[in-house]
Every structure is written in C-alpha cells, then in structure tokens.
C-alpha cells in the first residue's frame, strides 16, 4: 500500500514543473493586469496606484541616476558597518553564553526577551549618543543585528557534537586550533543563519532610522519621495530595495554554503 | 530556547539581577559625579522617578489600550487570513509549489519600509499601523499553518481514510487538531512581528499609542521621560512574549 501511495504521489510530480511555472506566470500576469486596471479605473486617489509604465520609467530613471548610487553607497556602508560591529559583538557574546552554562542561565533570558522588542524606539537615545549623522544609523543597525547573531551563535555552540570536542582535546589541540578546526566549522550553519537574520533586521533598523532623521541614504530618498508625493519613484525605490534585500539575504546564505549544509 | 535559559538556577538568576543593579548603580555614580553627561544619559534614579509622571500625566493606560487594540485587530486579521492561506496552500498542492517560495521571500522582505506607501493609501490613521502589522506578520502564519498541516502523521490521516471520513471531516477531526500547536507557533511569531511593527510605525509616524509617546517625549527633550517610556514599552513587550510562550506551552501537552 505504501508503495502504491508513493507511486501515485510521484506520478503527477513529473509534469508539475511546467504547470507550476505556468501558474506562476499566470499569477504574475493577473496581478500586473489587476494593478493596471486599478490604476486606470480611478477608484483610488490619482497617483496612489500609478500605471506600470510610470513605475517602469521610474525604475529606469532611478537605476540610471548617479545620485541614487551615492545614497545606496551610504546605506550599504552603514549596513555593512552595523553588521560587522553587531556580528563581532554577537559572536563574542554568543560564544561566551554558549560555552558557559552559568553565564547563559544568568544573562541569556535578557537577550532572549530583549531580542524581539521593537528596536526603533531606542532611536531617540541613539541620536543623543551618536548624533544625527551616520553614527546613529549604524548604532541602530548594530542594536538590531546583535541579538539574532548572539542568540544563534549561543544555541549553535551548545549543539556542537561532544565527540568532535573530545577528538580535538585528545589531539591536544590549542585553543586557537580548537576554535578554527572544531568550533567554527561545526557552528557554520548557526553562524550563517544568525548573520542572515542579523542582516535582515539590521537593514530594516538602519533604513527606518534613515526615514526618521537623515539627509542621505535610501531611507531618506523614500521619505523624500513620500513628502513630494512622487509615487512612481517611491514604488520604484521599494521594488529595487526589496530585490536588493532578498538578493543580499540569498547571497549570504550562498557564500556561507548554507545550501550545501542543508543538503547533507 | 535552551534548558539553561528556561530554568535558570537561583544563583545564576541572582547574579543576573545583581549585575543589572550594579550596572545601574555605577551609571548613577558616573552621572552624579559628572563623568557622564546627564543631558545625554539621565541618572537611573531620575528615570525611575519619572515613571509615575509618565503613567499619570501621559495617559499611558489609554495609549496602552490603543496599541493593544491595534495589535489585537492585526492579530485577528492575520490569524484568519494566515490560517486560511495556509489551508488553501495545503489543499491545492500546485498553488503551494508556485507560491511557497514567494511567501518565504516575503517573510524576509523589509515590509515595514513600505509605511510611507501605507500612509498614502490609508492616511495617517490607525489603519496604516494595523495594516503594516498585518502584512509584515502574515507570512509566518501562512508558512507555519502549512507546515503543521503537511507534517500531520501519515498514520492519523490513514486512520481517517479507513473510517471513510469526508475531506471536510478529515480536516476538522484530524488535520486541524494535529496542526494546531504548529499553527499557534505561527500565530505567536505573527503577533510578535505585528507588535514590533505596530510600535515601530507608531513611533515613526507619531500617531497612536506607546510608540507615539516615546516620540513625543523625545521631541519635548524630556530625557528621563523618554527613557522611562522606553523601559515601559520593553516591559510590555516582554510580558506579551512571556504570556504567548505560556499559552503555547499550555497548548502543547494536549496534543
């Protein structure tokens, strides 16, 4: 019966990829057609739903403008700095908490519950501490990225196979050798996952901070488009930003070999 | 979460609290003796004293209820639409194959950055805040519902088939009850996402409950009040997360 079940289940799968692709194309076409229809219908305020042509034109204008790349560079720099600082701090704290049960029992619950709180509420304090320039945006990104990385590393450290550690010790490996040959390779998966999560929330934190108070960066451009009610430009920026964010997330996973680890 | 962090022993717990108290005392001393500028970081004693003022003068109960109502509305919406979405994806495999990766990608997309767009569509109203919370929190509910339904033990489904249950009976008697704990994990995640986004957008657009309070106090340069309000929001968030965790643990043993 089980064999029959698996046969009947696997038979339609062979023909699926084409049907799936067709359905995907159908959904995309339906959404775009619905959008265009809504845009031309006049049911919503004018320009709230701009035509696809206007959005396409705005995307082309955006991608061919030097000013956009300057602001993108500013934001990318802030996010990278935030990820580097938050990543290193998160790694250190995660290793300490993961390697010591007493420290974990004493402090990890603070991280666990502070982690999901809305970080943007700290922004007024960060402005006071780091000023209105890129410093406060980087600090916002650090604060956002730190928690998922620290928690992920701590959990990963505890999940290392004891046998691997015993093998390292039986070979009288030094602390550095233990770290580079045993701990880090064994924790590759949780570290990459933590960095991916950290990148996602760090990006949101930095960009939200830019929308609140800034004179450069992508967040500033988005809020400027809102202020000027330049809707096609705003849609264009959001679309490009979403593509970049999802792409960066996938790239971190790929560079870290996350897909290879999963396949094992 | 690890066992170590779930059931901390008394000594570790005391050390954790002790370190926090020592940190606050050191900060108090540093600020009082002028090593740290009190116009950047107010003394912890001043922050503690301003709690009462913030609670009484800033009508914090009303603001709390406003944020709670927004969260509840977004929570109800995402539960209804998220669970229905997950069930539909489970029922129609082709749809699942076509859309699951898109929904997973949407879960990692910075949806909250669309708040200016929502402002244009819904105006500067509670609906902007609710809709951001709803849209940002929807993917985990859909994905977890799908996961719960797909992971139902084969033997349970086969028992249903042996009793000749109709698809509807099979869903309500077997699939849905078996998936309920996982669905609740999704709803819990969704509610956490919703709360984060709702308070965040309240702060950003200066409208609504607790988020707006922090923004207003910061704009008035009431530093002690700002710190107190931030502490209050953190406290509310922590109590909210702990309550959800308790409910989830309470639900689990039943299945």
Q: Name every residue whose Cβ is closer than 8 Å to that of residue B13 and which is 6 or more positions away in sequence.
A: A105, A106
Distance, CA of A168 to CA of A60 (rounded, Å):
55
Interface residue of A25, A75, A104, A118 to substitute, partner B, most B CBs within 10 Å: A118
Interface residue of B116, B137, B234 to substitute, partner A, most A CBs within 10 Å: B116
Long-range contacts, stretch A233-237, CB < 8 angstroms, 24+ apart? A233/A58, A233/A61, A233/A62, A234/B116, A234/B117, A235/A50, A235/A55, A235/A58, A235/B117, A236/A55, A236/A58, A236/A59, A236/A61, A236/A62, A237/A62
Instruction: State what percent of residues in chain A have pLDDT above 70.
Output: 89
**Confidence at residue A156, expressed as pLDDT on a 0 to 100 scale:** 87
Q: Which two tokens stand for residue B208?
A: 């609504």
pLDDT band (50, 70, 90) for residue A7: very low
Q: Does residue B206 sit at the A interface (CB-CB below 8 Å)?
A: no
**Confidence at residue A165, expressed as pLDDT on a 0 to 100 scale:** 86
- What fold does the segment set B49-254 form as a domain? MetI-like fold (1.10.3720)
Q: Please give the helix or strand (H or E) that residue A247 lies within, else none.
A: helix A231-255
Output the CA torsion A166→A169→A173→A177 (10° steps): 40
Distance, CA of B73 to CA of B95 (rounded, Å):
28
Distance, CA of A10 to CA of A14 (rounded, Å):
7
For B106-159, the pLDDT digits (tens) are 877 788 888 888 888 888 889 999 999 999 999 999 999 999 898 888 888 888
**Confidence at residue A220, expressed as pLDDT on a 0 to 100 scale:** 92
Helix axes B60-91, B210-219, angle to 10 degrees: 130
* CB contacts < 8 A (A, B): 148
Rounded to a whole number of angstroms, the distance from the CA of A79 to the nearest CA of chain B is: 14
Distance, CA of A243 to CA of A72 (rounded, Å):
13
Q: Does residue A63 surpass a pLDDT of 50?
A: yes
Q: Give, in order, the Cα–Cα distances in Å from B254 to each of A247, B134, B149, B178, B251.
A: 41, 29, 17, 10, 6
**Confidence at residue B106, expressed as pLDDT on a 0 to 100 scale:** 82
Cβ proximity of A128 and B223 under 8 Å: yes
**Confidence at residue B73, expressed as pLDDT on a 0 to 100 scale:** 94
Name the superfamily (CATH) of residues A59-263. Answer: MetI-like (1.10.3720.10)
The residue of chain A with its CA nearest to that of B203 is A121
Rounded to a whole number of angstroms, the distance from the CA of B200 to the nearest CA of chain A is: 6
Give the residue-averaged pLDDT of A172-187: 84
Q: Which two tokens stand for residue B151?
A: 């992971």
For B36-49, the pLDDT digits (tens) are 888 888 999 999 99
Q: Does residue B9 sit at the A interface (CB-CB below 8 Å)?
A: yes
Q: Does residue B197 sit at the A interface (CB-CB below 8 Å)?
A: yes
Contact A20 B94 (CB under 8 A): yes
Give the residue-averaged pLDDT of B73-79: 93
Rounded to a whole number of angstroms, the distance from the CA of B253 to the nearest CA of chain A is: 23
Give the residue-averaged pLDDT of A134-163: 90
Contact A122 B230 (CB under 8 A): yes
Q: Does residue B235 sit at the A interface (CB-CB below 8 Å)?
A: no
The residue of chain A with its CA nearest to that of B37 is A129
Rounded to a whole number of angstroms, the distance from the CA of B133 to the nearest CA of chain A is: 12
Contact A246 B109 (CB under 8 A): yes
Who wins on pLDDT, A105 or A18?
A: A105
Chain B, residues 51-110, CB within 8 A of chain A, namely 94-95, 97-99, 105, 108-110
Residues of B in contact with A107 (CB under 8 A): 16, 19
**Confidence at residue A162, expressed as pLDDT on a 0 to 100 scale:** 84
**Confidence at residue A8, expressed as pLDDT on a 0 to 100 scale:** 41
Instruction: State what percent of residues in chain A have pLDDT above 90.
Output: 32
What one-character DSSP code corresponds to residue A12? G
Q: Give, in order, the Cα–Cα distances in Å from B80 to each of A78, B152, B169.
A: 38, 21, 20
Cβ proximity of B31 and B43 under 8 Å: yes
pLDDT band (50, 70, 90) for residue B247: confident
**Confidence at residue A17, expressed as pLDDT on a 0 to 100 scale:** 60
**Confidence at residue A11, expressed as pLDDT on a 0 to 100 scale:** 47
**Confidence at residue B255, expressed as pLDDT on a 0 to 100 scale:** 47
Q: Exposed, middle or buried, B50 (CB in 10 Å: 0-12/13-18/19+)?
A: buried
Q: Does residue A47 surpass a pLDDT of 80?
A: no
Interface residue of A106, A228, A236 to substitute, partner B, most B CBs within 10 Å: A106
Q: Does residue B232 surpass a pLDDT of 70?
A: yes
Residue in B98, B120, B214 nearest the CB of A24: B98
**Confidence at residue B44, expressed as pLDDT on a 0 to 100 scale:** 92
Q: Which of A41-55, A173-187, B189-203 has the highest mean pLDDT?
A: B189-203
Q: Tell me how far apart the 2 most distant CA atoms of chain A are, in Å.
A: 75
For A71-127, the pLDDT digits (tens) are 999 999 999 999 999 999 998 999 888 888 888 888 888 888 888 888 888 999 999
**Confidence at residue B254, expressed as pLDDT on a 0 to 100 scale:** 52
Task: Please state, as a whole number, how many other Cβ atoms lie within 10 Å of the Cβ of residue B19.
Answer: 13
Chain B, residues 126-185, CB within 8 A of chain A, namely none
For B41-71, the pLDDT digits (tens) are 899 999 999 988 888 888 888 899 999 999 9
Rounded to a whole number of angstroms, the distance from the CA of B2 to the nearest CA of chain A is: 7
Give the residue-averaged pLDDT of A204-211: 90
Give the residue-averaged pLDDT of A33-60: 85
Rounded to a whole number of angstroms, the distance from the CA of A201 to the nearest CA of chain B is: 8
**Confidence at residue A164, expressed as pLDDT on a 0 to 100 scale:** 87
Distance, CA of B20 to CA of B74 (rounded, Å):
35
User: Where exactly are the structural domains of chain A?
Assistant: 2-49, 59-263
Who wins on pLDDT, A188 or B217?
A: B217
DSSP A97-150: HHH-HHHIIIIIHHHHHHTTS-GGGGHHHHHHHH-SSHHHHHHHHHHHHHHHHH
pLDDT band (50, 70, 90) for residue A264: very low
Q: Does residue B177 surpass a pLDDT of 60?
A: yes
For B79-115, the pLDDT digits (tens) are 999 999 999 999 998 898 888 888 888 877 788 888 8
pLDDT band (50, 70, 90) for residue A257: low
Cβ proximity of A158 and A227 under 8 Å: no
**Confidence at residue A46, expressed as pLDDT on a 0 to 100 scale:** 67
Q: Which two tokens stand for residue A118?
A: 């809305």
């Amino acid at each position: 019966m089980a064999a029959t079940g698996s046969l009947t289940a696997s038979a339609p799968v062979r023909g699926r990829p084409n049907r799936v692709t067709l359905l995907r194309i159908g959904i995309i076409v339906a959404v775009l057609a619905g959008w265009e229809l809504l845009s031309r219908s006049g049911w919503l305020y004018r320009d709230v739903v701009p035509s696809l042509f206007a959005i396409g034109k705005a995307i082309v204008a955006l991608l061919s403008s030097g000013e956009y790349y300057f602001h993108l560079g500013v934001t990318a720099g802030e996010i990278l700095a935030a990820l580097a600082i938050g990543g290193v701090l998160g790694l250190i704290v995660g290793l300490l908490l993961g390697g010591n049960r007493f420290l974990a029992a004493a402090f990890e619950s603070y991280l666990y519950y502070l982690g999901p709180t809305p970080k943007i509420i700290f922004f007024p304090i960060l402005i006071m501490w780091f000023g209105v320039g890129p410093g406060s945006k980087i600090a916002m990104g650090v604060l956002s990225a730190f928690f998922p990385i620290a928690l992920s590393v701590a959990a990963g450290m505890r999940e290392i196979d004891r046998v691997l550690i015993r093998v390292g010790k039986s070979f009288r490996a030094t602390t550095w050798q233990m770290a580079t040959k045993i701990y880090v390779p064994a924790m590759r998966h949780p570290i990459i996952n933590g960095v991916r999560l950290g990148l996602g929330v760090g990006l949101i934190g930095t960009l939200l901070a830019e929308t609140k108070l800034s004179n450069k960066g992508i967040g500033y451009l988005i809020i400027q488009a809102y202020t000027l009610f330049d809707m096609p430009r705003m849609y264009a920026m959001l679309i490009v930003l979403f593509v970049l964010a999802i792409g960066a997330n996938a790239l971190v996973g790929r560079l870290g070999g996350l897909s290879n680890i999963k396949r094992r | 979460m690890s066992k170590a962090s779930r059931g901390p022993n008394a000594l570790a717990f005391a050390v954790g609290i002790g370190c926090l108290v020592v940190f606050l005392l050191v900060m108090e001393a540093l600020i009082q003796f002028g090593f740290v500028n009190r116009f950047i970081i107010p003394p912890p004693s001043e922050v503690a004293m301003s709690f009462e003022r913030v609670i009484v003068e800033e009508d914090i109960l009303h603001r709390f209820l406003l944020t709670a109502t927004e969260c509840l509305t977004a929570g109800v919406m995402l539960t209804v639409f998220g669970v229905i979405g997950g069930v539909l994806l489970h029922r129609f495999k082709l749809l699942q194959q076509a859309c699951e990766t898109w929904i997973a990608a949407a879960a990692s997309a910075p949806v909250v950055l669309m708040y200016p767009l929502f402002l244009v569509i819904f105006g500067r109203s509670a609906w902007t805040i609710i809709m951001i919370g709803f849209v940002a929190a929807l993917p985990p509910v859909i994905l977890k519902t799908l996961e719960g339904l797909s992971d139902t033990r084969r033997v349970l489904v086969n028992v249903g088939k042996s009793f000749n249950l109709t698809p509807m009976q099979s869903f309500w008697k077997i699939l849905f009850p078996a998936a309920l704990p996982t669905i609740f994990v999704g709803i819990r995640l969704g509610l956490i996402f919703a709360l984060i986004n709702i308070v965040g957008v309240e702060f950003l657009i200066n409208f609504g409950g607790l988020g707006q309070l922090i923004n207003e106090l910061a704009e008035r340069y009431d530093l002690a009040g700002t710190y107190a309000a931030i502490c209050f929001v953190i406290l509310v968030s922590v109590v909210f997360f702990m309550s959800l965790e308790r409910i989830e643990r309470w639900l689990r043993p039943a299945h």
